Amino acid sequence: MVHQVLYRALVSTRWLAESVRTGKLGPGLRVLDASWYSPGTRDARKEYLERHVPGASFFDIEECRDTASPYEMMLPSEASFADYVGRLGISNQTHVVVYDGDNLGTFYAPRVWWMFRVFGHRTVSVLNGGFRNWLKEGHPVTSESSHPEPAIFKATLDRSLLKTYEQMLENLESKRFQLVDSRSQGRYLGTEPEPDAVGLDSGHIRGSVNMPFMDFLTEDGFEKSPEELRALFQDKKVDLSQPLIATCRKGVTACHIALAAYLCGKPDVAVYDGSWSEWFRRAPPETRVSQGKGGKA
């Protein structure tokens, strides 16, 4: 494993509240609300407009993606990402703090944390405990939208943190990378359906290990300690000294695996961006494993 000084992947609600109180937000520190909810449940943008961390901008993951791709939530181009975050007042010198409003504490924020890292930005952190705990602890909120001065952001894709379909096929043969799937056990096994999915059966990529992302969080919505996270990986016989790819359905909760490994000192976990959404539609049937209907047992 490469030993390097790792930027802090988590900041506390207390630290952020103090930064807000002392006027630290600006070109050097930006806060993003990266909330997203399944259609017909909650309206992330509406909730942002009603209340958010003072000074936070709304990061719309539906806008900041490859809208031409047939697969869900695929990364945008370097130029599109640079333009999008530049308009949010983020430069290459900005410390970015990301949170979301999910009831779990954190759901989409690790995806945005990973997006910044895959585009070459290292000074990015997730708000530990999320907006859920920000509210619970009584920190200030506002309905005022932030209008930061646009900045110039240069994005450089770090291909070591990203895996494509072709690389995943190659890995089935070489088995160089361990493969970990972050979805719930039922969806991984193929015994529960994929939520809100049309034409997408559940199941997993042959050879992958299941580590549901919710296991990384405490009941109160905080990230578990590095010691607890290490034990989870050990229980699944995932060797953090060896190469690792994280996958899920659309490359979102896979980023929880990347974050958990990072907190254990492993910063080089790659995410398969297309994940099951792409694999199910493109891969040979014998590489798809499911205990559900029509699956390869």
pLDDT for residue 67: 87
Q: Is 248 known to be catalytic?
A: yes
What pTM was computed for the model? 0.95
Q: What is the C-alpha separation between 257 and 171, in angstroms, rounded? A: 19
With bands split at pLDDT 50, 70 and 90, how would you rate the model's confidence at 293? low
Which of 108, 107, 128, 137 is CA-nearest to residue 10? 128
Phi, psi of 271 (to 5 degrees): -110, 130
CA distances from 63 to 45, 75, 166, 214, 236 (A): 12, 11, 26, 26, 36
Query: DSSP character for 290?
Result: -
Q: Which two tokens stand for residue 251?
A: 């490359």
| CA distance to 67, 76, 149, 252, 279, per residue, from 72 (Å) | 9, 12, 31, 10, 12
* Active-site pick, 64, 248, 255, 264: 248
- Give the residue from 251, 172, 242, 243 showing the smallest Cα distance to 206: 172
In the prediction, which pLDDT does 261 show?
98
End-to-end distance of the chain based on CA atoms, in angstroms? 35
Q: Which of 270, 212, 264, 209 is nearest to 240 (CA)?
A: 264
Q: Where are the domains of the chain?
A: 10-137, 162-289
Span 224-238, pLDDT tens digits:
999 999 999 999 999
Q: How high is the pLDDT of residue 292?
A: 80
For position 6, what pLDDT does the model report?
82
Span 175-220, pLDDT tens digits: 999 999 999 999 999 999 998 888 899 999 999 999 999 999 999 9
Going from the C-alpha of 64 to that of each of 45, 94, 105, the distances in angstroms are 14, 19, 22
**Over the stretch 149-174, which tens digit does the pLDDT of each residue have?**
999 999 999 999 999 999 999 999 99
Give me the CATH topology for the region 10-137.
Oxidized Rhodanese; domain 1 (3.40.250)
**Whether residue 2 has pLDDT greater than 80:** no
Question: 217: which strand partners?
Answer: 223
Domain 162-289 grouped into CATH 3.40.250.10: yes
- Helices and strands in the chain, H and E counts: 10, 12
Contacts of 117 (CB under 8 A, 6+ apart): 124, 158, 161
Res. 108: pLDDT tops 60? yes
- pLDDT over 90 (residue 272): yes
Which among 177, 138, 149 has a CA at the least distance from the CA of 272?
A: 177
CA distance 278 to 248: 11
Cβ atoms of 49 and 145 closer than 8 Å: yes
DSSP string for 74-99? ----HHHHHHHHHHTT--TTPEEEEE
Domains 10-137 and 162-289 share a fold: yes
- Could you give the CA distance from residue 130 to residue 109 in angstroms, rounded to a whole number? 8
CA distances to 24, 247, 264, 270 from 258, in Å: 28, 10, 10, 7
Give me the mean pLDDT over the 265-292 stretch: 96
Interaxial angle between packed helices 109-118 and 254-263, expressed in degrees from 0 to 180 and rounded to the nearest 10: 70
Helix intervals (H) in 190-296 = 226-235, 254-263, 275-282
